Amino acid sequence: MVRIYGAPPYRAAVVHGGPGAPGTAGGLALGLSQFCGVLEPLQSRLSLRELLDELTAQLQEFLPAPCVLIGHSFGAWLCAMLTAERPELIRKLILVGCGPLDAAYTGQIGTRRLQNLNPKDAEEFLRLDSLLEGGGGTDADLARLGTLADKADHFQELQIQEPESFPPDSRAYGSLWPEISRLRKSGGLLDVFPKISCPIVLIQGENDPHPPAGVSAPLEHLGIPLRQHLLPRCGHNPWREQYAREPFFRILKQEVLG
């Protein structure tokens, strides 16, 4: 399933995070559609291989190649994997709020998030995170974890009207998160990037619990060319940040149309 925003020419696709959180990048796609036509693929499969095949089919059906591929959070990893595998489809890769590529940085995420939550919410977050990462929990548990993560991940959330999101998919989360975690821990996620030939752009909030250095430092160590935009007073979802929304879309417009 895909959602299409704006009018032709369709230049970009926006891939949501999660895993198991379809529709959560709808606000990003809607904002970008003020400048060009945008595709929002909604992911539904239960393995990385199936997700890559699904996303490839969605791009080939709806977007002329090569396009600009924009991934948010977990979606940034998926977009990087697809760009390395199918370079003819992508002319630029934009990673927004990308999670750390090196497992050595992952401990900072939980520490930063817990600092942004009150003790009761922090305790609930830890319980749900452990439950879901262990393969348990329900869609309601995943929805509640997402609510707590949103609370922790924003610097100053802006209340805006966004396209409808879809119910969280705990089955997808329980299947995909262990797989991507193993890939990152083994170094396989980072190994994807030397295979990417198109320009890579990072857009990160300075206050994102996902440390920007967890993306930029490993890539710089490998000598991977990249362009990085760090947004002050901004958390994990720049399009929903009071102080960062306007500069975020200004940067995105320049990167997509340039």
Give the end-to-end CA distance of the chain in Å, rounded to a whole number: 28
Phi, psi of 182 (to 5 degrees): -65, -40
Q: How far apart are CA 155 and CA 83, in angstroms?
A: 31
- Joined tokens for residue 22: 């379809």
Residue 119 has a pLDDT of 87
DSSP 125: H
Give the model confidence (pLDDT) of 10-53 as tens digits: 999 999 998 999 999 999 999 999 999 999 999 999 999 999 99
Q: In the prediction, which pLDDT does 107 show? A: 85
Q: Which of 1-5, 119-123, 186-190 has the lowest mean pLDDT?
A: 119-123
Output the CA torsion 94→97→214→90 (10° steps): -20
Total domains in the chain come to 1
Please say whether the beta carbons of 20 and 180 come within 8 A.
Answer: no
Range of 52's domain?
Answer: 2-257
**CATH code for position 162:** 3.40.50.1820
Q: Which residues, 6+ apart, have CB-to-CB distance to 84 below 8 Å? A: 192, 193, 195, 196
Percent of the chain topping pLDDT 70: 100
What stretch of H or E contains 51? helix 48-62
Question: What pLDDT is attached to residue 148?
Answer: 84
Q: What is the mean pLDDT of the chain?
A: 93
Give the model confidence (pLDDT) of 77-113 as tens digits: 999 999 999 999 999 999 999 999 999 998 888 888 8
Of the candidates 107, 164, 118, 170, the residue with the CA atom closest to the CA atom of residue 144: 170
| Alpha-carbon distances, residue 198 vs 1, 15, 186, 218 (angstroms) | 27, 18, 25, 18
